[in-house]
Amino acid sequence: MIQVTRKDSKESFENLLRRFNRKVQQSGALAIAKQAQYFEKPISKTERRKKAIVRKERKAVKVQKLKLGIK
């Protein structure tokens, strides 16, 4: 848990927020939370390659149709 307190009573909220954001970035807590948000099951290297080939082919077809003016 990251806690930040005011240095003195005159410290502005913006400075307090800036220090908090810096501590969150340095701790890496936000990066870990973002990784856990979209968890995917691990797949084999061959499956990943097959999916990449399919994506590449679909993109090529889409670009070709775009060049020809077909939707």
Residue identified by tokens 């930040």 is: 4
Q: Is it the case that residue 45 has pLDDT exceeding 80?
A: yes
Q: Are residues 8 and 26 in the same domain?
A: yes
Q: Are residues 51 and 26 in the same domain?
A: no
Residue 35's domain comprises: 1-39
* Cβ-contact 2, 20 below 8 angstroms: yes
pLDDT of residue 18: 92
Q: Are residues 3 and 20 in the same domain?
A: yes
Q: Which residue has the higher pLDDT, 5 or 63?
A: 63
Q: Mean pLDDT across the chain, nearest whole number?
A: 91
pTM of the model: 0.48
